Every structure is written in C-alpha cells, then in structure tokens.
Structure 1
Amino acid sequence: MNMAGIDPKQQAVLTAAWTAFSTYGFRKTSMDDIAKGAGMSRPAVYLHFKNKEAILRALVQGYYARAQAEIAAALAADADLKSKLAAAFAGHGGEAMEAMMSSPHGMELLETSVSVAGESIEEGEAALSSLYANWLTAEAEAGRVSLPAPPADMARVICACLKGIKKSAAGYAAYRTDVSSYAALCAQALEP
C-alpha cells in the first residue's frame, strides 16, 4: 500500500499497519504491532496517527487516490473501448483488492473500513463516480459511446456493479474474471 507524496515515516506506518491488519485482522492488531512493523516506537507512531482508526482512514483515502489516478490514466489511454474499461475497472480495485481478498481477514477489513472510514468511502466513491461520469460525457459528445441513460446514472451503476463484484467474488481470481467480463459487457453496451 504505497502512497505517493507521503512522508516516509507515515508510509512506513501505513505499510506496517496494512501488513498487520491483513495478518491479524483489525481488531486484533495493536499499535505495538504496527510500531514494531514500522521499525519505530509506539509513541513515535502516535506522532503520525492518533489511533488505528486514523491509520485505517488514511489507508482508505490512499486507496481512493490511487484508484482515481489509475482509472483516469486507463480512460485517457489510446486504446479500444473494451481495453480502456478493462484497465479502468482493474484500477478500480487494484493491488489493494488482491491483498484484501488474499487475507483471511479481508471481510473484517472491508466491514471495519465501512464503519471506521464511512465518510472517506462516500467521498471516494463519489469522486470515482464523477470521474466515470465526466469521461462518459466527453466520450458521448465525441460520438465514441452511446449512452442508454444520463452519464451520472451510468457512472453510478458502474460503481455499484463493481462494488457488487467485490462483495460477491469467491476470491481474487474470480474477482478479476468477473471484472473483465463486466468491462466487456459495458463496452458492448456503450458501442455507438
């Protein structure tokens, strides 16, 4: 969980926290576990983050910042519609999805993220939806896609479906397959 532009010590804490959360689960991870993993004292960790919840919120915010960058790059790429959507949808989940789905504590982390970082998730989801809506608007205006509904509605459906795939997939391999199938379906539906 590497985040660009962040203080190296904060990055060390976030990386150690993600490792500990994935290994022990959120509830069983202590600030001592995180400090040890980051190679610093517990009081030093508290200089950067108030508690585990603040660390989890920072991880969620980092996830959405990375997802926005990957989706924007994928949608701007010089590629066919299916390839653009496949790359954007893959970026929507990214490495965090693989790590979460590979962890025996993935569902706990997902549920805890919603309760601890709900506001950050809402803001992040709104930003991703807006990114898709803006892209769909521009593509429709250029005649490269045909929209069966308003761009904002289509973007909301895209995000909801990706969320549903995440929650229902039997593992990371199934998730990747389902995301790829969904991208193909969307590309076919959007063809002018």
Structure 2
Amino acid sequence: MTSASEESKTAAILSSAFRAFAAYGFRKTSMDDIAKGAGMSRPAVYLHYKNKEAIVRELTQYYYDEKVILVAEALAGEGSLPEILAGAVQAQSQGMAEILASPHGLEMLDATKSMSTDIVQEGEAKLTRLYADWLRREDSAGRAHLPVGPDEAAKTITTSLKGIKMTASSAEEFEQGISQLATLLGAALEIR
C-alpha cells in the first residue's frame, strides 16, 4: 500500500510531465524538466519512473481509469437518451481540447499511441462495453432505437470519438466534431 506522501509525489510527477510534454513535446522534454516541475530532484523522479515512456504509460492508464468512471456516471444519469449520450461523450472527451490546443498535442497523442497501445486498447474496450451495456438497457426498456446491435453501436460511438480526436486540426474543430457526433447519434438512437 502506498502512502499519501508517495501518492502526492506521483501526482506531482505526472502533473509536471503532462505540462512539460504540452510545452516542449515528448522528445524535447527531459527527466530534469519533469523533476523541476514536480519540485523534486531528478534521482527522486527515477525512484518512481525509470524513464519518460513509463510516465506516458502511467498518464495513459490514469486517463482511461478516469474516463471509465466519468462515462459510467454519465450513462447512469437522468434525462433523454440524447442528453445522456451527450453527457457521456462530453465526459469522455473532457480535457482533450486542452491537449489538442498545445503546439505539441499531436506529438503527445502519437507518443501515447505508440508507447501505450495495450493500455489504449484495454481502455477503449472498457468504454465500448459501458456504452454497449447502456444501449442494451435502453433498448430493453424501449427507450432506444438500435438499427444495429448494441455492441456494434457502442463500437461506432467509441471509434468515432477516437477518429475525431486523431483528425481534428485544432481544439475548436475537436469540440465542434464531438458536439456534432453526440447530436447525430443521439437523434439516430432516440425513438420517435
């Protein structure tokens, strides 16, 4: 079991690394940059993480752990199907505009994808299952119109979100694309 002090140090390192990657890019960020931002010595950072790649993997895991919780909460919320879906999509995409607004946002996403493929795949699978389970419940309750099965519809939601993230050329374009996707899918799934 880790102590509160160790958790605090880990959080400081991860926060500092995220800020440094956003400011300088993954390749140009040094472990010294991360240590300075965390208010620690470089050797102290190495006691927690062996390299920048390990930090990226931890940041990716943290991202997906947080998104799974937020999306599950949104899907358990009240409202119409489009409202609930919009809330879940917003919860899943929260914070991504900040990454894309960084001059090194695409580099950060590429680093995450290349160094954390297994974590990304597992995280996306968990999110897809959340959407599928929700759609299954909504369909069983007669509140959803599913032209395809819930698993296929859920995969469409998560892959579309991922596609917008990977192709948006700016934070504004990303936010607009996410909003449009939630509106389109919500309207398509709602029973009229």
Q: TM-score w.r.t. structure 1 length? A: 0.93
1:23 aligns with 2:59: no
1:104 is matched with which residue?
103
Partner Cα distance (1:157, 1:163) in 2: 10
Partner Cα distance (2:147, 2:171) in 1: 31
Paired residues for 1:1-192 under 5 Å: 7-95=7-95, 97-192=96-191
Point out 4+ residue stretches in structure 1 off by more than 4 angstroms. Answer: none
The alpha carbon displacement at 1:102 in A equals 1.0
Q: 2:79 aligns to what SS in structure 1? A: coil
Q: Percent identity?
A: 48
Q: How many residue pairs align between the two structures?
A: 186
Alpha-carbon RMSD? 1.2
Partner Cα distance (1:38, 1:102) in 2: 23
Partner Cα distance (1:56, 1:99) in 2: 17
Partner Cα distance (2:98, 2:60) in 1: 13
Contact 2:82 2:190 in 1 (8 A): no
Query: Which segments of 5 or more consecutive residues in structure 2 lack a partner in the other structure?
Result: 1-5
